[in-house]
């Protein structure tokens, strides 16, 4: 991030599940730059190490661990190790996606296990640690795909819709413990070797068609989603829970 963040997260312990690339990496960097101790997990070791170095450059405590978030047995171990390394958990961010855009069983199960159940399992494992924090919150990365019917990627859209609804139920259930729960629904976000970067190179016609539907006239950046995460995790959002914040440059205005 080029400019200093407007929020002070010194003393916060932040976990980003799915934090080695794209939106998750930008979230981890944003919180680290704002002073937080940060833990990230992901499957790919090379991208994870690159993210670790970038986060560590801000000087705060950093913890990384390889974890396949589709593996139910691995999630609890990661959460426990991160909490031990950072001395607790204040913010849990569930950012991973299975990116199953097909309509076969494999696509549905990939999105069910990662987009939905990884968030459920990580939340469950983190809850005892969050309960000990006076500034606890959970953030889920949903998508604008959850908000409208679409002809392609039904499994991805359906699981993101389920995640947005889980945000509502979870926020209500955890409110008595003063744990806030919100989600962010990004629009089309472009970053190196991401979905829309590859689309630009491999299917420029589709890339241009989607771009034409974004009123701001450009694709979003991971940093812009990270800015929303900083706000929602900060005391300035202390009376906000159970919400899904759309970050899309007006893309949803076209339906």
Q: Cα–Cα–Cα angle for 105, 204, 114, nearest 5°? A: 30
Range with the poorest average pLDDT among 87-96, 128-137, 200-209, 218-227: 200-209
Residue 43: phi and psi, rounded to 5, are -85, -40
State percent of the chain over pLDDT 90. 84
**Alpha-carbon gap, residue 7 to 237, rounded angstroms:** 11
The burial of 212, by beta-carbon neighbours within 10 Å (0-12 exposed, 13-18 middle, 19 or more buried), is given as exposed
pLDDT digits (tens, 9 = 90+) for 14-35: 999 999 999 999 999 999 999 9
C-alpha distance from residue 167 to each of 92, 142, 157, 225 (Å): 13, 10, 15, 17
Contact yes or no for 66/91 (Cβ under 8 A): no
If residue 91 lies in a helix (H) or strand (E), which one and from where to where?
A: strand 91-94
Going by C-alpha positions, the residue among 75, 181, 69 that lies closest to residue 124 is 75
Topology adopted by domain 13-189+221-249: Rossmann fold (3.40.50)
What band does 123 get if pLDDT is binned at 50, 70 and 90? very high
Q: Which residues are catalytic?
A: 156
Handedness of CA 20, 121, 176, 163 (dihedral sign): positive
Q: 171 CB contacts (<8 Å, ≥6 apart)?
A: 180, 181, 182, 241, 242
pLDDT digits (tens, 9 = 90+) for 180-190: 999 999 999 99
Note the pLDDT of residue 3.
Answer: 65
Structural domain spans, the chain? 13-189+221-249
Residue-averaged pLDDT of the chain: 93
Note the pLDDT of residue 111.
Answer: 94
Strand partners, 181: 138
If residue 138 lies in a helix (H) or strand (E), which one and from where to where?
A: strand 137-141
């Amino acid at each position: 991030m080029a400019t200093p963040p407007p929020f002070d997260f010194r003393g916060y312990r932040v976990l980003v599940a799915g934090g080695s690339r794209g939106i998750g990496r930008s979230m981890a960097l944003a919180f680290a730059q704002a002073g937080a101790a940060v833990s990230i997990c992901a499957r790919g070791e090379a991208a994870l190490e690159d993210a670790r170095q970038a986060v560590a450059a801000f000087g705060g405590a950093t913890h990384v661990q390889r974890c396949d978030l589709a593996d139910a047995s691995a999630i609890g171990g990661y959460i426990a190790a991160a909490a031990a390394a950072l001395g607790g958990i204040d913010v849990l961010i569930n950012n991973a996606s299975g990116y199953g855009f097909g309509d076969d069983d494999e696509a549905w199960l990939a999105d069910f296990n990662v987009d939905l159940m990884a968030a459920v399992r990580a939340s469950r494992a983190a809850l005892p640690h969050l309960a000990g924090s006076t500034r606890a919150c959970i953030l889920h990365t949903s998508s604008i795909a959850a908000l409208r019917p679409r002809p392609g990627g039904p499994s991805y859209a359906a699981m993101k819709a389920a995640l947005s609804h889980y945000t509502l139920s979870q926020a209500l259930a955890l409110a008595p413990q003063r744990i806030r729960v919100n989600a962010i629904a990004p629009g089309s976000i472009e970053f190196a070797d991401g979905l829309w970067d590859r689309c630009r190179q491999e299917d420029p016609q589709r890339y241009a068609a989607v771009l034409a539907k974004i009123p701001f006239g450009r694709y979003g950046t991971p940093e812009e989603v990270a800015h929303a995460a900083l706000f929602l995790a900060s005391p300035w959002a202390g009376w906000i829970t159970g919400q899904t914040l759309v970050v899309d440059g007006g893309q949803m205005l076209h339906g």
